[in-house]
Amino acid sequence: MQSSTSSNDSVLDANIAQAASASSVHAHEHGPDLRMFGFSLFLVSEGMLFVGLFVAYFAFRASAPAWPPAGTPELEKFMPSVFTAILVASSGVIYLADRALLKGDMGKFRLFWGLTTLMGLIFLGGQAYEWANLTFTLKSGLYGGTFYVLTGFHGMHVIIGIILQIIMLIRSFKAGRYTPESHYGPAATSVYWHFVDVVWVALFGMLYIL
Amino acid sequence: MVQIAQGDHPEAPTGWREYFSFSVDHKVIGIQYLVTTFIFYLLGGLLAMVIRYELLTPDATLDPNLYNSVFTIHATVMIFLWLVPALAGFGNYVVPLMIGTRDMAFPRLNALSFWMIPPGGILLMSSFLVKTGAAGAGWWSYPPLSAQLVAEGDKMVTNTGEVIWLASVIFLGTSSILAAINFIVTILGMRTKGMTLFRMPLFCWTTLTTACITLIATPVLAGALILLMFDITQGTVFFNPTGGGDPVVYQHMFWFYSHPAVYIMILPAMGIISEVLPVFSRKPLFGYKALAISTIGIGVLGFTVWAHHMFTSGTPDWLRMFFMITSMIIAVPTGIKVFSWIATVWGGKLELNSAMLFAMSFVSMFVVGGLSGIMLASVPVDIHVSNTYFVVAHLHYVLFGGSVFAIYAGIYYWFPKMTGRMLNEFWGKVHFYTTFVGFNLCFLPMHWLGTHGMPRRVAAYAVDFQTLNVIVSIGGFLLGISTLPFLFNVIYCWIKGERATANPWRALTLEWTVSSPPPVENFEVLPEITEGPYEYGKPLLSVPQQQQS
């Protein structure tokens, strides 16, 4: 291994010569597909962002004399529960889309995939409706501030999820773009969607139930 | 090699232009990281010179608000634009070579992580140009100080400098999260055949641990900074006590990141040292497994000590006690490391070149910083010296005497591999001795200043402190000057230095089995590993003969 005592110029020449052929020489090597591993790590860090904000929320709540503060009515629970149910159900629907993709049934995949997007949009609409009708604002002390920042952060993630879904849906019309063997895009998007769902369930519990 | 599409690596980095392009080669990116961060290091150093100039006299010479901005940006640059990304630069260059793979797992993401740094840094430096001046609340950016309106002419306005600071740090934090994902996936998923975890060189262990810390801690900082951003720009009251908010929550979130960040800055430095010491002692690394496991130990324990930065923030007694004990426990894995390094050097056949000198002084300077750290972990001492120059002395012994010395050691050690040229030993030693003397002249007297009560972050001070402050400033200026022989050496030798052989140090880790600089995809045939990385005197590899023709 301690091989290199030869002239360095020849080494450099060898490098340059080798560079030209490098990608073809090594094309036969196949490592594992690590994209999903990387994406899960990204979600770990996303999760820590929410964990940090959740802990801050509980710390603020613990320091406040009353929650919600005097004069602010309790949040209305019925409609948010319905929208929550729709978002949670969409996780099941996107799972069905994944299953269809694994079987190569693209028609069924597009059906369930589009349905998931629709359900996400309904959830977002519900969120927008609720924001429009609340009596407090972002500047209404800790209560208003935490409510809007937390739901807003989550809503932003729903929007990103929906954008990803629409991109995958459009791409899926190209024949052979996604196959039962190779479909990293939809797979990562649906993992992301489950993640957004889980975060919402935690948020719903914190903001509406507790 | 699923990630590397064919054609991503069209040609070798034959010219300087490669280094200004969106290259996806981990070696180009590594050098891009190191050169860029070194430029920011020089800028941060110039700010330090301004600080030492101001402190030559007891009275405030500069505008005190400008002084506040200068030390704030000095710290921010040194942490977020020098130490954290410079160590990531070494990781980028060396880790794929060390574990025997052709590139990082996600080369394009890697390039993106790097290319987020120059705009983030330029954004930060540009805040000196806005009317409110750059952020001046210290690198902690504690509210309510950081969230206050500032005077602009005769009216009070939002602190634009602070908003820019927040945006820039969130941006740089995102870059380091992306880099962390890449490191974890590369190290866990792409090691060559036979490279078990416990056959990895220690630098890989420390990079892996650092990446895990970055991944978990940085988002929490981002959360705190985003809430602070809302407070400043939108008028929310999260950290504003007059509106019912709680500034201490910010402190908890901030230090939940920023204490582990200390380990982000020191663990890879320890990794570099663990590579350099055995090579120039010609001995196996003592206690390889203990060093690897204590790295993980420091990484995990690092998450349980943050409130020792908050002993004077109204933290309840039982909590102070808890954090005092956990902080002192960190000394155990750290002590294991220090004794392993000493045992490595002990009885070795030492080769005292520049890399080795920096590595050995890392150990001794780090011990000084570590010991003052234990003093600061003790509640009664900490209350006495909180926010004094004792803390400044401590943190510079750890981050300069520790991390920066290790980075220098790393540059002297890997420069031949990266550039194919040797550095000049004479100028290397000039650099070492001026740095070592300047460093101690600058930071040792700060311990006395601190215990006698000189507060940090104030432009004016009591007349009694002037003599020591002048000594400190002389040391500081010497430290500034000591960078010049280094710069001269690196620039001259990069162009005209003596050619380096593949393995000038006769080291055993994998990066030395390929030519200097290594070919584009590193290995002609991926090596297979049969032994650990420091087995001096034993055959290491069943390497299929590397290309030499």
Residue A140: partners with Cβ closer than 8 Å, 6 or more residues away:
A69, A72
Domain count, chain A: 2
Contact with chain A for residue B232, Cβ under 8 A? no
> Looking at this protein, which amino acid is placed at residue B260?
P
Interface contact flag, A18 B519, Cβ < 8 Å: yes
Q: At what angle do helices B247-281 and B405-419 cross, to 10 degrees?
A: 60
Averaged pLDDT score across all residues of chain A? 87
Instruction: Look at residue A4 and tell me whether its pLDDT is greater than 50.
Output: no
The angle, 0 to 180 degrees and rounded to 10, between the axes of the packed helices B64-76 and B26-54 is 150
Q: B406-445 burial, b for 16+ CB within 10 Å, e for fewer?
A: bbbbbbbbbbbbbbbbbbbeebbebbbebbbebbbbbbbb
Q: Which of A22-26, B257-261, B278-282, B463-467 has the lowest mean pLDDT?
A: A22-26
Q: Is the same domain home to A70 and A141? A: yes
A182 part of contact set with chain B, CB < 8 Å: no
Residue B150: its H or E element:
strand B150-152
Tell me: do A37 and A24 sit in the same domain. no
Please tell me which of the candidates B2, B10, B226 has its beta carbon nearest to residue A33. B2
Place of tokens 């070919």: B519
Rounded average pLDDT over B460-477 = 97
Over residues B485-508, mean pLDDT:
95
> Tokens representing B519?
């070919």
Encoding tokens for residue A186? 């939809």
Q: Which of B219, B256, B503 is facing A4, going by the closest CB pair?
A: B503
CB atoms closer than 10 angstroms to residue B108: 14
Residues A9 and A83 in one domain: no
Segment B74-97, tens digit of pLDDT: 999 999 999 999 999 999 999 999
Quickly tell me which residue has 């319905």 as its tokens.
Answer: A82
Domain that includes residue A192, residue range: 33-209
How is chain B split into domains, by residue range? 24-542
| Chain-chain contact of B236 with A138 (C-beta, under 8 angstroms) | yes
Q: What is the pLDDT of residues B105-158, one digit of tens each?
A: 999 999 999 999 999 999 999 999 999 999 999 999 999 999 999 888 888 999
String of b and e for B37-59 (b: at least 16 CB within 10 Å)? bbebbebbbebbbbbbebbeeee
Q: Which among A5, A6, A8 is the top mutation candidate for probing chain B, defined by the most B β-carbons within 10 Å of its own β-carbon?
A: A8
If asked whether residues A28 and A84 sit together in one domain, one would say no
CA dist A91 and A120 (Å) reads: 10
Task: Determine the longest span between alpha carbons in chain B, in angstroms.
Answer: 75
Instruction: Say whether the peptide bond before residue A68 is cis (omega within 30 degrees of 0).
Output: yes
User: In angstroms, rounded to a whole number, what is the distance separating the alpha carbons of residues B99 and B101?
Assistant: 6
Total Cβ atoms within 10 A of residue A129: 11
Q: B249–A2: do the CB atoms touch at under 8 Å? A: no
CB contact under 8 A, B515 and A48: no
Percent of chain B at pLDDT > 70 equals: 95
Question: What is the pLDDT at residue A26?
Answer: 52
CB A94 within 8 A of CB A191: no
Residue B152 β-bridge partners: B155
Task: Find the radius of gyration of the CA atoms of chain B.
Answer: 23
Residues of B in contact with A45 (CB under 8 A): 177, 180-181, 215-216, 218-219
Is the Cβ of A54 closer than 8 Å to some Cβ of chain B? no
Within 10 A of B495 (CB to CB), how many other CB atoms are there? 9
Residues A100 and A55 reside in one and the same domain:
yes
Rounded to the nearest angstrom, the minimum Cα separation between A38 and chain B is 6
Q: CA quadruple B5, B11, B13, B19: dihedral positive or negative?
A: negative
Question: Residue B422: what pLDDT?
Answer: 96
Residue-wise pLDDT for A149-195, tens only, equals 999 999 999 999 999 999 999 999 998 899 999 999 999 999 999 99
Residue B138: which region, alpha, beta or left (left: phi > 0; alpha: psi -120 to 50)? left
The reported pLDDT for the residue numbered A20 is 36
| Partner-chain contact B220 A27, CB within 8 Å | no
A61 in contact with B at a CB cutoff of 8 Å? no
Among the ranges given (A89-98, B14-23, B280-289), the one the predictor scored with the smallest mean pLDDT: B14-23
Q: Could you tell me if A105 and A178 lie in one domain?
A: yes
CATH of the domain at A86: 1.20.120.80
Q: Which of A168, A144, A135, A152 is nearest to A203 (CA)?
A: A152
Q: Give the integer Cα–Cα distance in Å for B426 and B422.
A: 12
Whether the CB-CB separation of B179 and B104 falls below 8 Å is answered with: no
- CB proximity under 8 Å: B 243-262 to A: 243-246, 249, 252-253, 256
Is CATH 1.20.210.10 the classification given to domain B24-542?
yes
DSSP run (H or E) holding B152: strand B150-152
- Inter-chain residue contact B14 with A16, CB threshold 8 Å: yes
